[in-house]
Amino acid sequence: MVLLNRKLSKEELDYQIKDAKVSVVIVDEEDEHLLPQKVNKLPFLKVEESHETPIEISEQWTLDQTTSIMYTSGTTGYPKGVRQTVADFQF
């Protein structure tokens, strides 16, 4: 999962999507226009309508597996992706 900032330009979003090798962006329908045209989009409504399947993260994912990527502001150049892993969310 890559958290994207809706205030970024299409070019900035495109960079982050490509850099993180995102295959699908889950997006609210009112924000679809903010994304580059060539991005695969999945509306939130379809996700909400899908059936939940409980999972045991500790059984299916390793502790070093990436769960999300957050990008820095990029004030000194291109933003850098910061990985968050399963281990970061262990309580």
pLDDT digits (tens, 9 = 90+) for 3-56: 899 898 999 999 999 999 999 999 998 999 999 888 999 998 888 888 877 767
pTM score? 0.75
Identify the burial level of 34 via C-beta atoms within 10 angstroms of its C-beta, where 0-12 means exposed, 13-18 middle and 19 or more buried: middle
CA dist 55 to 43, 58, 84, Å? 22, 9, 19
User: Residue 33 has what pLDDT?
Assistant: 92
Cα four-point dihedral sign 52, 56, 57, 59: negative
CB–CB of 2/17 below 8 Å? yes
CA dist 36 to 12, 17, 40, 57, 79, Å? 10, 10, 9, 32, 18
User: Residue 31 has what pLDDT?
Assistant: 92
Strand pairing partners for 85? 66
Rounded to whole angstroms, the Cα distance separating 86 from 66 reads 7
